[in-house]
Amino acid sequence: MCEIIDGRALADKIKDKIVQEIVKLLVLPNDGNRHPNLAIILVGERPDSKLYVARKEKEATKCGIDTHVYKFAEDASEQELLDCIGFLNRDDLIDGILLQLPLPPQFNTDKIVAAISPDKEVDGFHPDNLKKIYAGEPYQMPVLAAVILEILTSINCNLQNKTVALLAHSDIFMNGIGEILKQCGAVILPCHYDENSKNNLQICTKQADIVITAVGKKHYLTADYLKPDAVVIDIGIIREGDETFGDVDFASASKVASFITPVPGGVGPMTIACALRNVLELYKKNKKF
Ligand code: GUN
């Protein structure tokens, strides 16, 4: 029997803890008597990005985190964005900066992310953070890595010697995640999504105890990609009109998997909760007043 991992319930637990901690910080007599503050930068008019930002604002407010959304036109210049980031980096009220991705094509995403102060960058994408991950130094947990580890912990899945297929188009979201899972004892299998060689992909994924997919191809992952009792974490988000789909063909994969995250209601809500937790961590670590 396959168990469905309830991402909304897990996210609620994380957000409850954030609320409790913020309430405690706010009642301390000489410290922490302001709410954490999150700046969100949104460029352009993508409906999905607007929706995700609106959700982040709503959930942040519910947790006691104040938000400030900076909106830029689709044709904004790189300099305008860099100026805004410079302003937010210098503003001692701002604890966390979240740059909603993807950016329109004229932007060099790596350059813009690197301009965010590493002490304020929420997602854990900053190159200084990645260097720390690979150097084995203390680092800020990237949001997506936190989501994966929370999900695995919730089902008592220890990563020691577990084989993991990590499937993604090379992408800023997945940077460092393989390394973090390796440091937790996992063996990362050399699986790559390739539209034209599904057989090779299946040979690889069928060896995996855990399949993590962030490819963005609607329902491509069916039961015949899975080893019996595999754990399946679906990070794919495909929006069609008002509907959201994942990479995993749930009806088929759930016949073989032991645990599976649904889309919607799996990774999505947890991404918001783990991002908000990072804001609180940055606030506690770097707050100047
Ligand atoms: N775009 C879609 N999801 C995310 C996310 O979790 N963080 C950022 N920065 N951009 C996104």
- Which residue, judged by its Cα, is nearest atom 9 of ligand 1? 100
- Which residue, judged by its Cα, is nearest atom 3 of ligand 1? 101
First to last CA, the chain: 52
pLDDT in tens, 121-135: 999 999 999 999 999
Q: DSSP string covering 233-262, please?
A: EE---EEETTEEE-SB-HHHHTTT-SEE--
pLDDT for position 33: 79
- Which residue, judged by its Cα, is nearest atom 7 of ligand 1? 100
Mutate to test the pocket of ligand 1, among 100, 110, 174 (most ligand atoms within 8 A of CB): 100
Q: How high is the mean pLDDT of the chain?
A: 96
Atom number in ligand 1 closest to CA 271: 6
Cα within 13 Å of Cα(191), Cβ side = 29
Question: How far apart (Å, rounded) are the C-alpha atoms in residues 214 and 217?
Answer: 8
- Which residue, judged by its Cα, is nearest atom 1 of ligand 1? 101
Q: Which of 172, 173, 149 is nearest to 231 (CA)?
A: 149
- Which residue, judged by its Cα, is nearest atom 6 of ligand 1? 271
- Give the Å distance between the CA of 101 and the centre of ligand 1: 5
CATH class of 31-117: alpha beta
- Give the Å distance between the CA of 268 and the centre of ligand 1: 10
pLDDT for position 197: 87
The alpha-helical segments, DSSP class H, found in 64-197 are 78-90, 109-115, 127-135, 143-154, 177-183
- Give the Å distance between the CA of 128 and the centre of ligand 1: 19
pLDDT in tens, 188-217: 998 889 888 889 999 999 999 999 999 999
Question: How far apart (Å, rounded) are the C-alpha atoms in residues 198 and 192?
Answer: 10
- Give the Å distance between the CA of 252 and the centre of ligand 1: 28
pTM of the model as a whole: 0.96
Average pLDDT estimate for 176-198: 93
Indicate whether 31 pLDDT > 70: no
At 41, list the tokens: 């930068």
Element (H, E) at 37: strand 37-43
Domain ranges (residues) in the chain: 31-117, 143-268
**132-141, 168-177, 246-255, range with the lowest pLDDT:** 168-177
Please, are residues 8 and 266 in contact by the beta-carbon 8 Å criterion?
Answer: no
Ligand 1 binding pocket, CB closer than 6 Å: 52, 98-101, 123, 143, 271
Residue 4 assigned ligand-binding role: no
User: What would the CATH number be for the domain defined by 143-268?
Assistant: 3.40.50.720
pLDDT > 90: what percent of the chain?
Answer: 89
Please, are residues 18 and 277 in contact by the beta-carbon 8 Å criterion?
Answer: yes
Do 31-117 and 143-268 have matching folds? Answer: yes
